[in-house]
Amino acid sequence: MTTLVFYKLLAIFIAVAIGWFVGRMRWLGEADAGGSGGDPARVLSNAAFFIFVPALLFRTTARLDFNSMPWLTLSGFFGPVLLLLFLVYVVQRRRGAGQAAAAKPSVQAITATFGNTLQVGVPLAAGVFGEPGLAILITLISLHALTLLTVLTLLVELDLARQRAGQPGGAQSLGRTLLTTARNTVIHPVMLPVLAGLLWNAAGLTLPAVLDEVLAMLGTAVVPLCLTLIGMSLAYYGWPKTWRGVLGQVALKLLALPALVLVIGHWGLGLAGLPLAVIVVIAALPTGSNALIFAQRYRTMEGETTAAIVISTLLFVLTAPLWLALLSLLN
């Protein structure tokens, strides 16, 4: 663990602590017991989900250069990540996790797979792998939120459509269910900017300087807002009453996911050296704050997701050196 990474982790915890203190003191108001969505933590989450994250996603997709993508390395990362995502989702659905709350399987899936690639990943790659490793990470970041949030949005909206169809008076045909899912997936603060950005990219257009500056400014607000939001969520929602599920998701994120990336990337796709090391370490990152925004968007498992983010970030200090030591043995 380099000094740079340690200071970045310390800065994250300080930002979270500031958010917790503000929430604990109720400086922004009391929690909304009526569930109408007016409490400060949810208001900030909605601001991130409807303003700042869409700006970041549109700017990213509009500027992507698909011709220069290292597709084999990307496959070695996103293949295992999506595999674990679907496994967690399917297992939770079969356990009936989606019966009480339709969004629960998707929230558990994002908690177990969505890494903190920006706040922790960038300084880690820069400090350990230098500019060549950072270049690989930047490519992964450009597709990370785009890929995972798109897949999870489709899954959760399909589950919500099924839930509505199963309620009294909500029965509808399969075609109508799929149509509802498609509409709610497209007209969505994640998918709409992604699709708009891809269309802009496909048209060969460049972002005007003023628009690019506005989008960049809005996008940079995601990181500090999400970090303070984690602390505020702890203050408003508290720690979960049971820890078994939280610790299981943390274990999947810090141990199972990087192991899966290592096996598939190295022995399945033949990756080695720097590309393999970068994708394994990035897979081993703690849960990212976008998981909390996703959970708050669907009002499902906010406390558990917040706890998973904090605990995985704490334990990352112990697990990261283990993965770096293992990778050094393979090289």
- Give pLDDT tens digits for 123-155: 778 778 887 887 788 788 878 888 898 899 889
- Give pLDDT tens digits for 28-80: 877 665 555 567 877 888 888 788 888 888 888 888 888 888 899 999 999 99
pLDDT of residue 208: 94
- Integer Cα distance of 180 and 198 in angstroms: 23
Return the closest-CA partner of residue 64 out of 147, 170, 5.
147
- Integer Cα distance of 204 and 323 in angstroms: 41
What's the mean per-residue pLDDT of the chain?
A: 84
Return the closest-CA partner of residue 222 out of 29, 6, 44.
44
Q: Is the pLDDT of residue 189 over 90?
A: no
Say if CB 190 and CB 149 are below 8 A apart.
yes
Look up the pTM and report it: 0.80
Could you give the percent of the chain with pLDDT greater than 70? 88
- Integer Cα distance of 154 and 169 in angstroms: 24
User: Any idea which residue has 């009294």 for tokens?
Assistant: 168
Q: What are the structural domain ranges in the chain?
A: 3-18+39-330
Q: Is the pLDDT of residue 193 over 90?
A: no
The one-letter amino acid code at 80 reads: P
Q: Which CATH number fits domain 3-18+39-330: 1.20.1530, 3.40.710, 1.10.10, 1.10.260?
A: 1.20.1530
Burial-class residue 102 by CB neighbours within 10 Å (0-12, 13-18, 19+).
buried
* Count of other CB atoms within 10 angstroms of residue 116: 28
pLDDT confidence of 99, banded at 50, 70, 90?
low
Return the closest-CA partner of residue 302 out of 251, 246, 247, 222.
246
Q: Using H for helix, E for strand and C for coil, what is the string for the chain?
A: CCHHHHHHHHHHHHHHHHHHHHHHHCCCCCCCCCCCCCCHHHHHHHHHHHHHHHHHHHHHHHHCCHHHCCHHHHHHHHHHHHHHHHHHHHHHHHCCHHHHCCCHHHHHHHHHHCECHHHHHHHHHHHHHHHHHHHHHHHHHHHHHHHHHHHHHHHHHHHHHHHHHHCCCCCCCHHHHHHHHHHHHHCCCCHHHHHHHHHHHHCCCCCCHHHHHHHHHHHCCHHHHHHHHHHHHHHHHCCCCCCHHHHHHHHHHHHHHHHHHHHHHHHHCCCCHHHHHHHHHHHCCCECCHHHHHHHHCCCCHHHHHHHHHHHHHHHHHHHHHHHHHHHHHC
- Integer Cα distance of 226 and 15 in angstroms: 9
- Whole-angstrom CA distances from 259 to 6, 84, 279 are 23, 11, 11
Lowest mean pLDDT among 9-13, 203-207, 285-289: 9-13
Return the closest-CA partner of residue 239 out of 318, 310, 316.
310
pLDDT of residue 239: 75
Say if CB 191 and CB 181 are below 8 A apart.
no
pLDDT of residue 64: 81
pLDDT of residue 183: 66
- Integer Cα distance of 147 and 75 in angstroms: 12
- Integer Cα distance of 61 and 56 in angstroms: 9
* Count of other CB atoms within 10 angstroms of residue 251: 15
